[in-house]
Chains A and B, each alone.
Chain A
Amino acid sequence: MIELDGKEDLELSGGAVVSDPYGAIAEPAFQKPAARGTPLLELILGDPRMHRHADGLLSCVQCGICTSGCPAARFGDYSPREISQRARDGDPTLLEDDSVWLCFYCYTCQSRCPQGNSVAVINQIIRGMQVESGYGLKHVAMFTAWTEQFYATGLGGWPHQLLGDIAEVWGDRWWHLVEHLDELRAELGVGSPYPSEEALGELRVIMDETGSRTRLRSPGAEALVTGSAQAGKSPSTER
């Protein structure tokens, strides 16, 4: 309770008297100073991606503007307001929470938050922790193809192995593009989409130095990734 200077008693209809009615203000849970020192909260606040938003997380008033504009909240079982509350509480169950994987990373929550919080960034941090602990690998297994393609060529894009069912839906015009992309690029006079050999060499050093490939090969990851890529085969099959 916050103590205020004393006020006069308040006489209610019927004669009852409330002594010093405005002399104190209750503090609901969300107004308590955040529990700094909770390890997960410290990790989130200490992440450089959060530095613009640390005060915003600590001052979150649970207004729900984030949830009101969120496409995942509208069409999925996900609440950015709840993620914010749990992050502020340092709730360790976030590290095995699957709902954070529903975020679109559209940043609507961040751009509309009156306090400057960013649940989109919190989700990036939590998902990264889940990947590095191994729990989240099931959520990224199919996207490891991206890292491999990027390491091999220096070009991102959506690897064709990700497209699968989508390519069926996209139909003939899409396959026409896939088959004729190089011709089309030549007709348009745009140069190679790939970086120079020197640039690719530097990129690989950066990826190796920052652990880009080993990140997805923590104990258990190899089997999971291999199992996903070769559905039906033994998880121990070599990549």
Chain B
Amino acid sequence: MPTTTPDIAPITGGVELFRSCLVSTQYPGVEAATTWLFEQLGVEYVVNPDQTCCTGLGYYTDVVSFPTTVAVAARNACVAVEAGHPIQAYLCSTCYAINKKARDVLEEPEQRRRTNDVLKKVGRRYDDAVASTVQHRHVLEILWSRHPSIRALVRRRLAGIKVATHPACHYCKVFPDEVLGDGEDLMLPEDLLEPTGVTKTGYYPEKGTHCGAGFRQRFVNPAMSMAVTREKLRRLAEQGVDVCVHMCPNCHIQFDRFHDVISQTAGEDYPFVHLHVQQLLALALGADPDTVCGVEAHSQDLEPLLERIGARARTSVAAPDGAGRG
């Protein structure tokens, strides 16, 4: 299957890896795998301790007001520009979308004035210089801009591993015109992995269906939330995939942590696992599953896959609980 993701020039000029609250607290290996890939691919970056969380989970559970979210986004943009690393690179699709939404709103003079009235209290100002300098990029876009270098770095071929994409809604649907590729059939994750020898799935029924998390819905309406997740799991199982790859930690939680729960409740077998794109790509480039990819944080048993791709010594007898280090 040929790649369809549009080529872009290498994204350079100072990348700030925008820390994500859900990556930090649920899958820190996603951050470590990303920085490991940045180093392999020569992406100059910083992690900026003056950056705060985007407020996304608070905003989308309706406890944080929009003016708060915009002011926090404007402050984070000021901080990134001040540090000379104005390309905010997002691990989480909600950080990505909410900061872009703030960017849009801050183009309106009245909204910018109101936001700057708040920022004045912390000695900052979102002005034209900041607005024209800051950039908002998903981490996968940064990696894609270096994709010609990937093939030569592959250490573990993923031949025979069938991969499907779960396109993150907040990457694909909030700003569809800015998606790298087709938001209804996103190929960016699979195209990034192509040099590793994976078998790509491409389009499949329900590809665009949501993960089911829905911020509040996972907690307040679990039956509805699980029903959506189950639909996707069934469709992925029909495709015979080995790995479903993710680009958003909230989707990743929903699938990794509920996969076995739904399988047992529904009495259905979904014989595949979930990984972030960066984790699978890093594994293919030779990264350690524990000290780089942090597989210990996952709820699913990843050991059989790790053995299959040569990231673990093969054992003749599976560990009793199959849980490996976890």
* A residues lining the B interface (CB < 8 Å): 47-49, 51-52, 69, 71-72, 74-76, 101-108, 110-111, 124, 127-128, 131, 136, 139-140, 142-144, 146-147, 150, 154-158, 162, 166, 169-171, 173-174, 176-177, 180-181, 184-185, 187-193, 195-196, 198-203, 205-207, 209-212, 215-216
Contacts and interface: CB of A to CB of B under 8 A. Distances in A.
Nearest first, the 5 A-B pairs at minimum CB distance are A104-B214, A193-B24, A111-B173, A156-B21, A107-B173
B58 interface: yes
A49 B291 contact: no
- Give the dominant DSSP class at A's interface: helix
Instruction: Report whether over half of chain B's contact residues are helix, strand or loop; otherwise say mixed.
Output: helix
Contacts of A166: 218-219, 222
Contacts of B217: 72, 102, 104
B45 interface: no
A111 B169 CA distance: 10
Given A107-B170, A188-B292, A210 B58 contact: no
Contacts of A201: 122
B299 A76 contact: no
Contacts of B210: 71, 104, 106, 108
Interface in B212-238: 212-224, 227-228
Interface stretch (B67-75, B136-144, B158-166, B190-198): B67-75
A206 to B, nearest CB: 5
B303 interface: no
Given A173-B299, A188-B29, A76 B221 contact: yes
B223 to A, nearest CB: 8
Contacts of A195: 49-53
Interface string B274-296: 00000000000000001110101
13 contacts: A102-B217, A106-B210, A139-B216, A146-B64, A155-B24, A173-B299, A177-B297, A196-B49, A200-B52, A205-B121, A206-B72, A206-B75, A206-B121
Contacts of A150: 53, 55, 58, 64
A185 B21 contact: no
Contacts of A192: 49
B297 A184 contact: yes
Given A166-B218, A185-B28, 18 more contacts: A76-B224, A106-B214, A107-B170, A142-B220, A143-B58, A155-B24, A157-B24, A166-B219, A176-B326, A177-B297, A180-B296, A190-B28, A202-B124, A203-B75, A206-B72, A206-B118, A207-B68, A210-B118
Q: Size class of B's contact patch?
A: 35 or more
B49 A146 contact: no
B224 A199 contact: no
A210 B210 CA distance: 32
A199 B54 CA distance: 13
A79 to B, nearest CB: 14
Contact of B32 (A189, A198, A200): A189
Nearest to B301: A173
Interface stretch (B100-108, B145-153, B305-313): B100-108
Contacts of B50: 195-196, 198-199
Contact of A184 (B61, B215, B296): B296
Nearest to A78: B224
B41 interface: no
Given A49-B105, A102-B224, A212 B64 contact: yes
Nearest to A132: B65
Contacts of A177: 26, 296-297
Nearest to A174: B299
B25 interface: yes
Contact of A190 (B26, B32, B124, B227): B32
Nearest to B218: A166
A16 to B, nearest CB: 50
A200 to B, nearest CB: 7
B291 A199 contact: no
B65, B101, B292, B326 interface centre (most CB from chain A within 10 Å):
B65
A193 B19 contact: yes
Contacts of A154: 52-53
A5 to B, nearest CB: 40
B154 interface: no
A12 B124 CA distance: 75
A75 B296 CA distance: 33
